[in-house]
Amino acid sequence: MLIYLVRRILWAILVVFVVLFITFLVFFKLPNGDPALRFAGKTPTPAMLDEIHHRLHLDKPWYIEFGYFVKTFATGDQYGWPGLGYSYNSFASVKSQIVYRAPRTLWLIAGAATLWLTFGVAIGVLSAVKRRTLVDRLAMGFALFGISAPVFWLGLIALYIFWRTLHWTAGTGYTPIAQGPGQWFSHMILPWVVLSMLYTAIYARMTRNNLLETLGEDYIRTARAKGLSERRVIFRHGLRASLTPIVTLFGLDVALLVGGAIITESVFNLQGLGWMAINSATQQDLPIVLGVVLCTATAVAFMNLVVDIVYAFLDPRVRYS
């Protein structure tokens, strides 16, 4: 088990490294603007630009610069370890930016994931158990809506109704939980619901289909033949087998949102990691982009590992092979 873990972690590190490398490559090989121009002010002289290029490490071939990036990362810089440098725009250290933005994104993910897992699975089970009834059709109709409705549209509609019209919630922006849990909640509830909508729909459909498939298995007939109650047949025998694939999906979905909840973070002006990444990308702010990519890639690699371990825990057939 320990050897397995070490091997998996080493692989994960390699994957993160490769992802960073590709991001680096994209920045250097597809330039659409010189970061030094922003630095230099209104009337840059060639000498100034050269000096800035040198300072930002943009004057050497990309492989040397990547080597420098790796070296700073490993040995640390003036902001400590790991050395991620500073933003070309705000001169703030990348690390401090990430530490400042991360709670917004993590709270967003935590709330939304709780919602979509709870409601997605519940709706899916209900739909499967009440198959071909009105309940099923309504639930699947909702799922279709959730899958089709674009997040930016949903977000704006939700803001219009619950903030502008009904005044039930706070508007856009973010209040840290330490400054008032009520305010925090009031700011987060709409993003949670809007972000979870699509996932709830997908999870409801998946749960329904998996459960229906499982309920057709021979071991479900055995469970009924034993004389178990229908409730036990569905929840203990049916759900157990149909939820395992959902665990895999859940881990990856959560990880991808670390840098990927871009639209939700923008519509609700939460200014989390995804928002920061997309802003920095348009401003050629490589260190920030690399920082967010590092977070997302690490989250994906880590969740992959967690999912595999949880899966082995849930399915003995995996555990023993």
Partner 1 sequence: MSSFSGSGTPLLDVRNLSVRFNTRDGVVQAVSDLSYTLRRGETLGVVGESGSGKSVTSLAIMGLLNRAHADVAGEIMFEGTDLLKLSKEELRTVRGRDISMIFQDPFACLHPMYRVGSQIAEAVRAHEDVSKSVAQARALELLDAVGIPNAKSRARDYPHQFSGGMRQRAMIAMALVHNPDVLIADEPTTALDVTVQAQILELIDKVKKEFDIGVVLITHDLGVVAETATHVLVMYAGRAMEYGPAHEIFTAAQHPYTWGLLESMPTVEKRLDMLVPIEGSPPSLLRPPPGCPFHPRCKYRFEPCDKKRPPLQSIPDGHPDACFLSPERKREIWKDRIGAELGLTV
- CA atoms of 189 and 163, how far apart (whole Å): 11
The minimum distance between CB 62 and partner 1, in angstroms, equals 50
- Residue 58 vs 307, nearer CB to partner 1: 307
Q: Whose structure tokens read 């209900």?
A: 126
Sequence letter at residue 280: S
Nearest to 173 by CA among 267, 279, 263, 261: 267
Length of the chain: 321
Closest approach of partner 1 to the CB of residue 240, in Å = 6
d(CA 228, CA 52): 74
**Would you say 48 or 220 has its CB closer to partner 1?**
220
Nearest one of 269, 259, 252, 256 to 98, comparing CA atoms: 259
Min dist. Cβ of residue 222 to partner 1 (A): 5
Nearest distance from residue 226's CB to partner 1, in Å? 4
In the complex with partner 1, which residue's Cβ is closer, 54 or 226?
226
Residue 259: partners with Cβ closer than 8 Å, 6 or more residues away: 105, 273, 274, 277, 292, 293, 295, 296, 299
Q: Give the nearest distance from C-beta 120 to partner 1 in angstroms.
A: 21
Tell me how far apart the alpha carbons of residues 51 and 35 are, in angstroms, rounded to a whole number.
Answer: 13
Binding site for partner 1 (CB under 8 A): 217-219, 221-229, 237, 240-241, 244, 314-317, 320
Report, in Å, the least distance between residue 149 CB and partner 1. Answer: 34
Q: Of 80 and 216, which has the nearer Cβ to partner 1?
A: 216
Distances 46 to 43, 51, 175, 185 between C-alpha atoms, Å: 10, 9, 44, 51
Cβ nearer to partner 1, comparing 61 with 227: 227
State both tokens at 310. 């949880």
Q: Would you tell me the crossing angle of helices 181-215 and 151-158 to the nearest 10 degrees?
A: 130
Secondary structure element (H or E) that encloses residue 282, with its range: helix 273-282
Kindly report the backbone phi and psi dihedral angles of residue 93, in degrees, each rounded to the nearest multiple of 5, phi listed first: -70, 140
Q: Which CB, 112 or 128, lies closer to partner 1?
A: 128
Q: How far is the CB of 247 from partner 1 (least distance, A)?
A: 13
Q: Report the C-alpha gap between 94 and 239 in whole angstroms.
A: 44
Rounded least distance, CB 213 to partner 1, Å: 13
Share in percent of the chain as helix, strand, coil (round to 5): 75, 0, 20
Provide φ and ψ at 76, rounded to 5°.
90, 165
Instruction: Pick between residue 168 and residue 219 the one whose CB is nearest to partner 1.
Output: 219
Nearer to partner 1, 208 or 237 (CB): 237
Q: Minimum distance between the CB of residue 118 and partner 1, rounded to whole angstroms?
A: 22
CB closer to partner 1 out of 61 and 316:
316
